[in-house]
Structure 1
Amino acid sequence: MAALVMVRAAVYLALGPGLILDDWTAAGNREFLGILSIADQTRLMSRPLEWLTYTVVYGVGGNSPVVLFLEVTLLNLVAVTALLLLLRRYFSPTTAWIVCAAWVLVPNHNAMTVWAANTQSLVAFTLLAAGVVALSRGSRVAAALLLGLSVLGYQVTIVPAFAAVALVGTRFMPLTPEAAPPARKLEMRDRLLIGVPVLLCVAWTAIEPTYPFRLATRRPWRFLNGHFAEGLFSQSVPPAVVVLCGIAAVAGVIAAIELYRRGERARNGGPTLVLVGIGVIVVGSFGSLLTPVQPFGMIDRLYAISSVGAVMVWVGIAKMLFSRRAVVGLAFALLWAGICLYGQAVSLASWSQAGDDVVALMGFLDESGVDPSAALVVGPEAVRHNNVVGIVSPHAPDNALWLHRDEMTGSLRIAKTPEEFVVQTDGEILITWPD
């Protein structure tokens, strides 16, 4: 498993990592305001573990894209290990390894794999997985601590944490016979003792929420598209391809439901994996309900948990096919893996190109001959690579400019759209960046 993570990391290192969006905020704050100001006080109140994660990650990595990416890769190794340990509590070693390998391969959560500004998601994911393992072992204190901390790191873990408290140790989540039994059975009193601290952590995040609570997913098919169609390719694809992917997924789910109804309920069988995967998608979709989503790109940071469920669905479909005709199942698995490899290439290149854009922009501004102290506005719109953008206002383009110049001189605003490419305050200078 580590080899897969390292191969993916080697590809991105070869392409060239760069600083992306919030990286500039954190790196600039470290340089000009000090390590304890890397993340602002709002984050300290709403997501204290995120504040700590940023402080450590950028405190060590500074504004070095390579060092930051190596830190991200290390955290990915820990996260995959935690996921493997969790899956081993409920599935056979082979099934657990296949699901983990497929999760590393699929590109629909690559914000977690390359972006230092999303390390809070990685840490929260790891703590959640470790918390569920602790629950399954009957370790009440450890479970409450780990699940609570995961919520304080990233709110996408809220629903999964409560689902785990309610379901782990019940007939709905039975351990595999090979797993070590829990030290003690979780009674209702135990679940309350674990759930109350988690609830208090949720309440803490609501005092000064990072994002207001609102149902934002008015187009839920975008969320599904990110897991079962375009998210696999990391770019827009012809509608016919989306339809074919959707048909494959829907047909697989329908078949799994019918086979399960008929009694095909082996723990490591395809139907069971598909249905469990759907459950994981449902509990992991909370973050996507609060933020407008795209099928791929930077927004896939919200797919940290639901992407695991989607992988379980795909693996389950492949297992159902393989159990009936091995050649068909193997061909399906190879086709899916090939699509994911293509998607990884597209995604990693997009992230690398977005980082290169910022370097190119700084060079362009140097050559433009404008007054270094001027208030610059670059447009006509932000450059995007498959929904990945290297720099845009209000994500601290000033910091990028100041780090490049090694002094806090001048200001920079990057227009998101042509409508923003106008003078908004006296003294601003509009500069058209010809890509």
Structure 2
Amino acid sequence: MSARARAVDRRTALALALLVVVLAVPYLLRGPKLFLDDWWVLRNRHFSGVLGAAGHQQAVSRPGAWLVFTGAFGLIGRHPVPLYVLQTALNAAIAASLFLVLRRFVTWGLATAVVVVRALLPNHSAMDHWASTLAIVVALLLLLVGAVLLIRACDGDGHPWAAIALFAASGLCYEATLPMAGALLLAIPLLTTRRPRWDALVVGGAVVGATGIWALTHAWRGVPSGYADVGVEFTIHFGRGIAFSDATGTLLAAAGATGIAVVLWRLIAPS
């Protein structure tokens, strides 16, 4: 990629981040509020202090989320406007990072369109407006930045250790990112160099796998067995989304998975 193209990509990433900020302004002007889980975190902060805001169970099962909640609710406290500003800044960084990941594999127009559509669709409004999802927002950002670093490591024949560390940190904030992290360890080297990176697969697989085992065996919710219920977690994170019925959601998911498989095959298969 030429220096001019890289400059265009940087400006586009900045513009997409600004789009997220602009879209956040109406809610900011109406006045952000605290609700649902925000209050139990603030209750913990009131009775247990700053370091106790996220609770002991979360400190064990999701230490990354514990750090996020300690920094957000513990230090900022009962102030929804700065919490919303922080959340918007993180979402703006997500938009820029997602564009940089996509841009390595698709055209400028397609990468831009995907990020714009994601910013406009109301299918992730909790991550935009609910302070208690900050750990999820941070997890997604760490996953995408890790993907950017892994792409650069593959393109420049560098080490993948920083990317692996970010993938693990992402999972310690929110374990739902771990399957995608594992997939990226395989997919990104294949898409960039047409061959697997065994250092990324072996070391990364071990680190991401160990993080996943920790998450499964240290469920922070009140699960009687003490282990995460995979069936419940799957339906929580992979519901039908914006589809109007379960059948429609299944069909759309199947169509999307087929499309992804076809695109990956065309990218990886020898010409």
Unmatched segments (≥5 aa) in structure 1? 176-180, 231-241, 258-273, 280-435
- 1:41-190 aligned at under 5 Å gives the runs 41-138=56-153, 139-170=159-190, 174-175=191-192, 186-190=196-200
Whole-angstrom CA distance in 2 between matches of 1:7 and 1:278:
33
TM-score by length of 2: 0.76
Contact 1:89-1:133 within 8 A present in 2 as well:
no
Any idea what the Cα deviations from partners look like across 1:114-169, whole Å, max 9, x if unmatched?
11110110111011111222222223111110111111110111110111112221
Aligned residue for 2:216?
206
1:192 aligns with 2:177: no
CA RMSD of aligned residues (A): 3.1
CA change 1:137–1:218 in 2 (3 A) is closer
Please report how far the alpha carbon of residue 29 of structure 1 lies from its aligned counterpart in structure 2 after TM superposition: 2.2
Contact 1:45-1:205 within 8 A present in 2 as well:
no
Structure label with greater radius of gyration? 1
Please report how far the alpha carbon of residue 204 of structure 1 lies from its aligned counterpart in structure 2 after TM superposition: 2.2
Contact 2:127-2:133 within 8 A present in 1 as well:
yes
| Paired residue total | 235
CA change 1:23–1:218 in 2 (3 A) is closer
Larger % of strand: which?
Answer: 1
Contact 2:72-2:83 within 8 A present in 1 as well:
yes
Please report how far the alpha carbon of residue 203 of structure 1 lies from its aligned counterpart in structure 2 after TM superposition: 2.2
Any idea what the Cα deviations from partners look like across 1:324-383, whole Å, max 9, x if unmatched?
xxxxxxxxxxxxxxxxxxxxxxxxxxxxxxxxxxxxxxxxxxxxxxxxxxxxxxxxxxxx
- 1:217-236 aligned at under 5 Å gives the runs 223-224=239-240, 226-227=241-242, 229-230=243-244
Contact 1:136-1:169 within 8 A present in 2 as well:
yes
CA change 1:11–1:45 in 2 (3 A) is same
Contact 1:50-1:120 within 8 A present in 2 as well:
yes
- 1:32-431 aligned at under 5 Å gives the runs 32-138=47-153, 139-170=159-190, 174-175=191-192, 186-211=196-221, 212-216=228-232, 223-224=239-240, 226-227=241-242, 229-230=243-244, 246=248, 253=255, 274-275=259-260
TM-score by length of 1: 0.49
Whole-angstrom CA distance in 1 between matches of 2:88 and 2:262:
25
Whole-angstrom CA distance in 2 between matches of 1:8 and 1:93:
22
Residue aligned with 2:219, SS: coil
Aligned partner letter, 1:82: S
Contact 2:18-2:92 within 8 A present in 1 as well:
no
Larger % of helix: which?
Answer: 2
Please report how far the alpha carbon of residue 2 of structure 1 lies from its aligned counterpart in structure 2 after TM superposition: 2.6
